[in-house]
Amino acid sequence: MESINTLMDLVSAHLSELAKSDVVVGAPIELGAHTVVTLSAVSVGFGGGGGQGEGDMPAHTRGKHKHGGKGKGLGGGSGGGGKVRPVAVIVFSEGGVQVLPVPAKQGALDKIFERIPGLIDKITEATQSAKA
């Protein structure tokens, strides 16, 4: 299990080095007399888990498993993801500099994810109220 913890520490340290900023400035693009530069928001997520077991399996689970008897175990897993979204375009020209925002279009999945923290809070409150 120690190797999983070491791996998680190494990967998360490397990701933090990569994601020191949440905005990335794109390479300049020449379009005639104009130079265009994009600004993009970057999001990085990482998670992992593990497990370990030993000893007898609980009595209530023995009949449900083919092996029965003595318990053992080991497990692990990790995952990560990233997202880059353009947020603005900077246009340099002889007449000056313009910053043009890129509107954020949310799909159904984005809207669902946006509501998750509020739902978790409501579930937590309901659970605590039921215990009281």
Distance CA 56, CA 54 (A): 7
Please give the pLDDT value at position 91: 92
pLDDT tops 70 at residue 95: yes
Which two structure tokens, joined as six digits, stand for 18? Answer: 């990569």
pLDDT of the residue at 1: 53
Burial of 38 (0-12, 13-18, 19+ CB in 10 A): middle
- The secondary structure of residue 122, as a DSSP letter, is H
Q: What is the mean pLDDT of residues 2-21?
A: 66
Return the CA Rg of the chain. Answer: 25
pLDDT at 19 over 70: no
Least confident segment among 7-16, 56-65, 119-128: 56-65
Domain locations in the chain as residue ranges: 2-131
Token pair in block for residue 5:
């913890």
Q: What is the mean pLDDT of residues 5-24?
A: 68
pLDDT at 50 over 60: yes
Q: Dihedral sign, CA of 105, 30, 23, 19?
A: positive
